[in-house]
Amino acid sequence: MRRKAPMRRRNPERAKRLFEKQYGEEAALVREMKCFVCELDHRRQTTRTEAAHVRSRGAGGTSKDLIPLCTAHHGLLHRLGIKTFEEAFGVNLREGAAAVAAETSRMLAERGLAITEKVVL
């Protein structure tokens, strides 16, 4: 089936605001931290750290819902789902994300940077 009208281009200004909301300065700080699960199990982390969303972006998750996970655990989180992942490793990711958000806010304040506010699109 053919489209009657061409697809609308993505609004670059909106895309930039959305990216900053989801991957702002807090996400960069989270990527500098050690994996939440590896740290609890006293394992040596062998892969890079990624900023994993505990609350999906589609469900309204923001940079305040991030937790540092190594590539292996982040992939496992997506394969298992949050509840099964939490049960398997005995962790509470939402509480962890709250602690990480507090830590990143403190780090940003020390660096003299403003904390990213929720952007209304």
Would you say residue 36 lies in a domain?
Answer: yes
Residue 51: give the domain boundaries. Answer: 21-111
Would you say residue 10 lies in a domain?
Answer: no
CA distance 70 to 23: 17
Token match 């660096």: residue?
A: 111
Would you say residue 104 lies in a domain?
Answer: yes
Asked whether the beta carbons of 77 and 69 are under 8 A apart, the reply is: yes
Question: Is residue 83 scored above 80 in pLDDT?
Answer: yes
Q: How many domains, the chain?
A: 1
pLDDT in tens, 8-29: 677 888 877 776 666 678 888 8
Would you say residue 121 lies in a domain?
Answer: no
Asked whether the beta carbons of 1 and 79 are under 8 A apart, the reply is: no
**Closest CA relative to residue 39, chosen from 117, 106, 103:** 103
Entry pTM? 0.71
Would you say residue 49 lies in a domain?
Answer: yes
Asked whether the beta carbons of 47 and 72 are under 8 A apart, the reply is: yes
Q: What is the pLDDT of residue 113?
A: 59
